[in-house]
Amino acid sequence: MKLIIGLGNPGVKYLKNRHNVGHMFIDFVNKNSQILNTKYQILKTSCYMNQSGGFVQSTLNSRGLSPSEIVVVHDDLDIPFGKFKLQFATGPKIHNGIISIEQTLDTNEFWRLRFGIDNRPSSAKASEGETYVLQDFTSEEKEAVKNVFIEAVKQLTINN
């Protein structure tokens, strides 16, 4: 793994959305983790989530990297809030940014750092996920996200 790419949407409107947890993680690393910054190149997408494939492909081409050398950081409704998974070529069931990357690269063989964002009550789980992911984290959730980021940094440091 050589490059970490945080997925998100550009613009102030999306800055604190659950869907932008990939961008938030990159910001956190840039402010708090010199160790991780020396092991990886780190960057955020500059496109909308659904167009992530073109961004990732262009980045790989310009840096001479293969898909297996990247970690794509993104939100995941399949994982409960406060949890994360670092996996190769796995998950989530549906995520437009990941679908775009897999289709553009014609492979699913890249690392994913999947941050769980599902904090909905059971009764609301059947509601539209797209609406939920575009809502901002609550203040309590923002604090909890920082703790999850710390654990994810440790995991990335171990797996490098």
From the list 104, 133, 140, the residue with the least C-alpha distance to 118 is 133
Cis previous bond, 10, omega within 30:
no
- Choice among 19, 23, 74, 95 that is catalytic: 19
Pairing of strands 84-88, 111-118: antiparallel
Token digits for 99? 């679908």
Strand, coil or helix: what is 64?
Answer: coil
Classify the C-alpha dihedral 103-158-38-44 as positive or negative: positive
Look-up of token digits 């890249």: 110
Q: Is 95 a catalytic residue?
A: no
Look-up of token digits 């956190």: 28
Active site residues: 19
